[in-house]
Amino acid sequence: MSKDRPYSALVQRLKAAGLRPTRQRLALAKLLFEAPGGCDRHMTAEQLHAEAVADNVRVSLATIYNSLHQFTEAGLLREVVVESGRSYFDTNVTDHHHFYYEGSGRLQDIPGELVHLDSLPTPPAGAKVARVDVIIRLQDDE
């Protein structure tokens, strides 16, 4: 019965990540991962907060930050820092890269296959590669 298992897929997803499926985490996960139109989203904390408020979900900004970081930690999100005070959380956690429109501040995915990194220098002994970020910065008229 749907009444007994609201958003069961999301609940499972949170549980699998070791996170209690609380009211606010579920609401935020719904906004992030089950947005009506699209799929891959690039959201700032403020944007997500605004969406939550607009959707009548009462969450504090602190919880937004907590949740975004916990989701990121759990591999449900990926953080992309584009410039000084501007950091996005990307719902696409597959191997991929980004176009960054400097004028509008918009971020756009580039499938991982489209960028071939050859002959990466071997990182110093003892260091593991955590991730490779490629950001192609575009100049667009603001």
21 makes contact, choosing from DNA, a copy of itself, none, with CB < 5 to 8 Å by partner type, with: DNA
92 makes contact, choosing from a copy of itself, DNA, none, with CB < 5 to 8 Å by partner type, with: none
- As a whole number of angstroms, the distance between CA 90 and CA 17 comes to 17
CB atoms within 10 A of CB 105: 15
If binding is defined by CB under 7 A, does position 8 make contact with DNA? no
If binding is defined by CB under 7 A, does position 12 make contact with DNA? no
Residue 30 amino acid letter: K
If binding is defined by CB under 7 A, does position 47 make contact with DNA? no
Q: Which of 19, 7, 135 is nearest to 79 (CA)?
A: 135
CB of 21 or CB of 112, closer to DNA: 21
- As a whole number of angstroms, the distance between CA 73 and CA 36 comes to 25
CB of 74 or CB of 93, closer to DNA: 74
